[in-house]
Amino acid sequence: MQLYSELFSKTRKEAPKDEVSRNAQLLIRAGFINKEMAGVYSYLPLGLRVLRKIENIIREEMNALGGQEILMTTLQDSSVWKKSGRWSESVVDNWFKTKLVNNGEELGIANTHEEPLTQLLTNHVRSHNDLPLYIYQIQTKFRNELRAKSGLMRGREFLMKDLYSFSENEEDFREFYEKCAESYLSIFKRVGLGEVVFRTFASGGSFSKFSDEFQALSDAGEDIIYVDDTKRIAVNKEVYTPEVLSSLSLSKESLQEKKAIEVGNIFPLGTRYAEVIGLSYLDDAGKRQHPYMGSYGIGLGRLMGAVVEILSDDKGIVWPEEIAPYEYHLIVLGEGEVEKRAMRIADELEKKGASVLIDERNVSGGVKFSDADLIGIPHQLIVGEKTLEKEGFVECKERKSNKISMVEVNTLYE
Amino acid sequence: MQLYSELFSKTRKEAPKDEVSRNAQLLIRAGFINKEMAGVYSYLPLGLRVLRKIENIIREEMNALGGQEILMTTLQDSSVWKKSGRWSESVVDNWFKTKLVNNGEELGIANTHEEPLTQLLTNHVRSHNDLPLYIYQIQTKFRNELRAKSGLMRGREFLMKDLYSFSENEEDFREFYEKCAESYLSIFKRVGLGEVVFRTFASGGSFSKFSDEFQALSDAGEDIIYVDDTKRIAVNKEVYTPEVLSSLSLSKESLQEKKAIEVGNIFPLGTRYAEVIGLSYLDDAGKRQHPYMGSYGIGLGRLMGAVVEILSDDKGIVWPEEIAPYEYHLIVLGEGEVEKRAMRIADELEKKGASVLIDERNVSGGVKFSDADLIGIPHQLIVGEKTLEKEGFVECKERKSNKISMVEVNTLYE
């Protein structure tokens, strides 16, 4: 259990004046993050707990797909990026670059990892027996954004899960691509956005007709999408043309225009990177081939920001159970016997595997209630003199529904 | 369990020609890391498993000290560094810096975090009730090294645990400092370097007479230290003077000159950062004071590199139990019944909580044996026709001692 009095990052009355996004304002005021500069946020203990829970959900799903986890580097040698043409700022306009002090050589600060991973695999892939490969990492990306005004949703520095698939042929690639799309929907459901996330057709760039985005409906979103509520799919404005609609058997009449936050995307890459970097394998007929690639991204901070944007209310954040920093927020209204009872309840819960934040500060009940609502832990347990009167029971407020009831302590967390 | 055939990072015959350090050569050949450029290494699945185990040991020890974990940022606003004077390359000569594309503003790429954390705490520390604070992170650092020729031991990019302590006064600071020193010795013992690590007096910089380094004896080390084997302490060459020896009651005669790898350091910082950045608290007399700070670092990759340098032999790596990528390496010499038996043994071990790597490739026994020795998992289990003859037993080779014996499967991992 964690005593709130000992947690260094308490709630704050105000977010910094230059912070205009609701997700960052709430997360700063609730003590989850700290703004270092526009688009750059540190994670404080509560925020890091949420981030780790999101990370673990994603890791479980990627491992279930057969993903192998690695950790690539931020510093990037330019040579491999020159092979693909993406070193140039006229092609990739959001590079951060830096220089080696010993020889002045320019280095990239990674914004993605298609090139270096493809290069790395040239040491490990020889034949069709080495494929398919699904390789992922949960690693920090850097993007030199012109504007960074959406809090955690458009960071200049952010943690990202990026998986890259390498398949023998297009058919195998497509099969994995669809499995990964399912897995993404499962991730968004687990973090509490199941209802509002739509698989969305988007531009495929030069390698494919379409890529797929996962868009969460929200007025804070930067994207415009057209949603078919019955079919549970959507089309991004960038490909919203009569030809595309007809090719997808969608009719304009059944689509609604919505603002949305892109919480994930999956992208067919074809053989382009393998070709320019020289990754190949011998197929079972002994012929040299290039693997078909795909890339699959989820920004962890962006996902956390989207949850806050979409699920919070006028009192503060409302965390879904699976990614809440703690399951229970114990509000202690008194000292002596009351505090002892609170500790006993917390002990019982922790023995069952639940996590508990205990607010035993010497401040008014009103402050504790409004802090608890701001912080947004799903279940608030209120322990006061009243609790002592009814052994085995405690007052419980559900943050989401605001419903208050007396519940039996031993029925909690079962 | 992990099938070796499915792991994408197999052993390699050669490390890159420009790789001169033994730790990186072995880790590259064994498939644990990939060299991106001098001093910059990616972690492949086996390497990441070791790194995570080291990370978890360190996290456990830091939490036991009362540490609160956060995650700060790589991108650094220059303003706070200008306050301390450490923005200038004439003071800190290993900065990487970069620029914002929107306004050309120069940003730092963090090599340490005293300044931004002290700044962050100005939002959270008011009174002596908010202290002490022990705040740490496990986060990537960047150092623009002139030379990076020691593999994982002197990286340009590396994962570091850095803890910062904020105490009310020097006495409280010292008490924590000594506890942290004990905790460091416990970490180095747990990762398998207990015998060879010495707490070492080193220069304290401008804030203190001494700082403390934790030096692991190794001919690959870049530091020279003088070791008192009986007292289990050492003195770094930089403070090896008659005055210092006498102040520490050490005599030159009982000291031996040794090369060593610095695997950790702890550093008194006094009130300097709090003063220049403006972090203060009201003491119980209502007087404004600056907290006493200390910093406490361990490079995770460097520690991993040191373990490889110090414990490997002429056949390859020798992982200590607690940080090995897997506990058991099952070498399958045959198919059909032999492979079935191997899988059954692996199942039994995993049910007990052990982790198992299974080499069931269609290659010779010799290749499997030498790969297993190179990879360095502590216990090799050899399953062949012979195993089938004696139900319930398996041949086991201890990687460290080379001792081979028939053991009862159900006595393993207990």
pLDDT at B391: 86
Lowest pLDDT segment from A293-307, B24-38, B201-215 = B201-215
Tell me the C-alpha distance between A291 and A133, whole Å: 10
B363 interfaces chain A, CB cutoff of 8 Å? no
pLDDT tens track for A80-96: 999 999 999 999 999 99
Contact criterion met (CB below 8 Å) for A120 and A80: no
Residues of chain A found within 8 Å of residue B93, distances taken between Cβ atoms? 101
pLDDT at A264 over 80: yes
Distance of residue A8 Cα from the nearest chain B Cα, in angstroms: 7
Q: Which two tokens stand for residue A62?
A: 């990627």
State percent of chain B over pLDDT 90: 95
Tell me the C-alpha distance between A37 and A74, whole Å: 20
pTM above 0.80, yes or no: yes
What confidence tier does A354 reach under pLDDT thresholds 50, 70, 90? very high
pLDDT at B296: 98
Residues of chain B found within 8 Å of residue A71, distances taken between Cβ atoms? 42-43, 48, 51
pLDDT at A209: 84
Q: Which residue of B has its CA nearest to A51?
A: B71
What confidence tier does B390 reach under pLDDT thresholds 50, 70, 90? confident
Q: Which residue of A has its CA nearest to B39?
A: A75
Contact B43 A71 (CB under 8 A): yes
A9 interfaces chain B, CB cutoff of 8 Å? yes
- Of the partner residues A43, A44, A124, the one whose CB lies closest to the CB of residue B9: A124
Q: Which residue of B has its CA nearest to A113?
A: B42
pLDDT at A254: 94
pLDDT at A30: 98
What confidence tier does B246 reach under pLDDT thresholds 50, 70, 90? very high
Contact A34 B123 (CB under 8 A): yes
Distance of residue B276 Cα from the nearest chain A Cα, in angstroms: 18
Q: Token pair 């369990």 is at which residue?
A: B1
Tell me the C-alpha distance between B393 and B248, whole Å: 56
Contact A76 B101 (CB under 8 A): no
pLDDT at B149: 87
pLDDT tens track for A95-119: 999 999 999 999 999 999 999 999 9
pLDDT at A386: 87
State percent of chain B over pLDDT 70: 100
What confidence tier does B209 reach under pLDDT thresholds 50, 70, 90? confident
Amino acid making up residue A185: L
What confidence tier does B254 reach under pLDDT thresholds 50, 70, 90? very high
What confidence tier does B386 reach under pLDDT thresholds 50, 70, 90? confident
Q: Which of B11, B70, B93 to mutate to test the interface with A (most CBs of A within 10 A)?
A: B70
pLDDT at A205 over 80: no
Contact B98 A98 (CB under 8 A): yes
Give residues with Cβ within 8 angstroms of B42, minimum separation 6: A70, A71, A72, A73, A116, A120, B33, B34, B36
Residues of chain B found within 8 Å of residue A104, distances taken between Cβ atoms? none
Distance of residue B76 Cα from the nearest chain A Cα, in angstroms: 7
Average confidence score pLDDT of chain A: 96
Chain A, window 94-153: residues with a beta carbon less than 8 angstroms from a chain B beta carbon: 94, 96-102, 107, 109, 116, 120-121, 123-125, 129-130, 133, 135, 140, 142, 144-147
